Amino acid sequence: MFEDFTLESVAVGDVTLRVRHGGRGTPVVLLHGHPRTHTTWHEVARRLAPRHTVVCPDLRGYGRSSLPPDAADHAQSSKRAMALDVVRLMDALGHERFAVAGHDRGSLVAFRTAMDHPERVSHLVVMDGLPVVEHLERTDATFALSWWHWWFLAQDAQPAERVITADPDAWYRTPPPEEIGAGNHADLWAALRDPAVVHGMCEDYRAGLGIDRRHDEADRAAGRRVDCPVLLLESADDDLDVHGDPAAIWQPWLRHALSHRVIASGHHQAEQAPGQVADALLEFLAAH
């Protein structure tokens, strides 16, 4: 994986991020979702590297990136904190302005990076994600049944940690190594069997139901919107449309018209359709 990429740990304020970076050209940050690590991007990254400098970190609390002690309102795992990690990481790597793409939970971090640091973000790509407040305001029985893990992982009494760490192999289901790459599979499972990572992932969801929602609400009330070009990549075989048309839900958050493409894959686009994802990113970054 990641031939000719550099693997290192970079201190960014109160956390240290594990990151792979390589390639040449204008920079793009790729942010993974739950429960993946940065290695989910290995096939996409190699396709982007001839034309872009590609930066793939583990989010704080995931993979081998660290997480500070738990704070009030789970603020240590807020998307605002994670977005600041991204900016500080790019500072450390010498990149002033960059594109950011995020999948799943990473899409929330990418969105928050563009909202909080508009002067730094040239392009935003969101993959299978909406602003968290849009999900929560539309919650009904269908959403709660389909996305029930949100509510379980976010319980403050930490039942999720006890259940998951008791038997992670029973809790998580992943494709076999030959489908997602042996190195990616091994890295993912090393993380899933680490109690500290399980706690970090749960804290991400706890922040999502509280402090992250309040940040979205404050932005909307103030009329803040994403200034840069935005691309939505939606999986054909997932359920991002559980609330209706996701492109229509996104548009009020954006100053410019949304670009939208459907990827012929299940939820984990970067593993199931890396060629389509890379092509979509390359076309979008070149066109705007």
Clarify whether 199 is annotated catalytic. no
Clarify whether 123 is annotated catalytic. no
Q: Which of 238, 267, 279, 288 does the annotation list as catalytic? A: 267
Q: Which of 104, 128, 204, 216 does the annotation list as catalytic? A: 104
What DSSP element (H or E) covers 274? helix 274-287
User: In this structure, how many other beta carbons lie within 10 angstroms of the beta carbon of residue 118?
Assistant: 16
Cα 57-177-192 angle, rounded to 5 deg: 50
Owner of token pair 């990572």 = 197
What DSSP element (H or E) covers 10? strand 6-12
Return d(Cα 46, Cα 109) in angstroms, integer. 23
Return d(Cα 45, Cα 3) in angstroms, integer. 10
- Written in H, E and C, the secondary structure of 204-255 is HHHHHHCHHHHHHHHHHHHCCCECCCEEEEEECCCCHHHHCCHHHHHHHHEC
Beta strands in 71-199 (DSSP E): 98-103, 121-127
Angle between helices 105-116 and 195-209 (to 10 degrees): 60
Return d(Cα 168, Cα 181) in angstroms, integer. 20
- Residue 268, classed as helix, strand or coil, is coil
20 strand-pairing partners: 7, 56
Which of the residues are catalytic?
104, 267
